[in-house]
Structure 1
């Protein structure tokens, strides 16, 4: 079966008719169907499937053990996301196994394909939740109490998916098995001009929730001078984010929820989420402080209040330089490039040698339906991944 047809196997799962693209969120119907697909693909190859205590999926080639070579990515998406972000890395991992076997290779080290849970944070708000739980970067108590837009807790969603919330938390058994982790991913900008490259670093980044509180009232009966409209400072937050993002930094307000949300109603509260990223932690923090100050001033001018909660944060990640250079050399001197996107590989990099391979994205678009990679570049990614895995697992 060709590479493109493997991705085609997933093409009908989680399509979003309203947004376009795909909406596949942890423990929803689409993501559970993708988990079934993962298990079936692993079983078809004779790989043994394990669901760890945090809901991450592992497909072992041979017996689990320490010093393992691990590859894979995630299966979930952002709301209305593209077809490649996440699934490409999992599909490519299975195909790399096929390629290695076809060439008569058997790993000398423990080897597994992994699919991490809730990488995008599309349902419960915290990205890389499966890898954060595994490494202890987030506490089980905080994670289990996260709520989705319908008020369902992560604990309840996990329970409905057949998992035991009491077992969630740092997983030293799983972590200590990982000797090296390599994640293949579609490149999420226009930085790659050849089919395959390697990652050098990830920008420092985080998410902040701004809750503006004013006075709900009638849109027609309330004079402008008498209003305390939280939508006004929320709109100023959007503009402040744009002004503050300079010198390679990025700041985005991509989600805004007014309550109660009526066309002829002045909202009583508005929640807005800020995504902020910059090359260094100090720059990211400074930018968020500037944006927060502007939001506070705008709220005061409107007679409103604002509360800010940091929902997630990750410092700048510099991937293991020796491993990065080693893999680039194996692949014939492919370029190394930084990325502004977060990944499970970045969470694991604090604990184990970690690397990423990127496959060229000709549109430069990601987290949207126009995200793309050409079939021949995807095939080149499989060849590159197989070469890297053979080198590491021999």
Structure 2
């Protein structure tokens, strides 16, 4: 199932070199300050590693095959540079412009995003509304030639670096629980748009996360994405791809932890023999590799489905749920096999352990994934396993 073209294999090799030379040497310094240098986006953009999918007139190369994103995610995990998280800019936030922006908007924004001049973020989560989008309080009131935006967002990835933020806001009854949500592009420098503190996290420390505040921000009508009131549908449509991105990250991180641990137990001695020679160690790693192989096959199947336009929210939720829960077990077992060394920051497994914890929460918690899958089970058109031919 893991089939990549010759061009994609060449891309992997070149991107690996870019990460090893241009990104990995700086990660520790960026983790100390809690944000990557904006210059890394420009360097990646210059070499064509940011937004690959836009057409050439929009600054990309027109390569829409998700396998390119899969390669970027896997190589980032391999080089321990995942907390740069360029995929959030390129694929997650960028996907909203791809699907819902007008041609004029694409010409205005995408070339800057593809070059790394402008960095993207998406702002959905609020202090009192995470996965429950209906509880959103941020609102935008139509003022004729603009919308007046008020509210706040939290836990926003790329919140400090972002120049263009896809903001979800109520455009219906701001005090109710209506699904009347619309999407807007808020730009750096707009009056009333401010950033709060850079939030400290237990993992993904180089990836800047912040609070955003909107106080009477005048958002031009030209910055509305799509149609007023259709934002809830837009968010739902894009979340399937976001969960595919998350699944690829979960599996890549789990494989990295597994291989770091395999190398460690091959060298570590206990009771006069290698840790790898103990039956318990072999059983633990054998069980983990079997699970990883099986879930990897499902991910690769989902990539094929996505490329063909067939990936739905149910399949994406299953992939995200199973992969994030598996990653949690893998990093825990692998840290245990490291013994005391696993608790030391100098060993990669310690960082892999802490960084994995967010993945059962981000892009929809495991509990929300179960709700999505469960609702499909109750539909009248549910298809029996024995009838799926």
TM-score, length of structure 2 as denominator length = 0.28
More strand by share: 1
Q: Which has the higher contact order (CA 8 A, sep 6+)?
A: 1
More helix by share: 2
TM-score, length of structure 1 as denominator length = 0.28
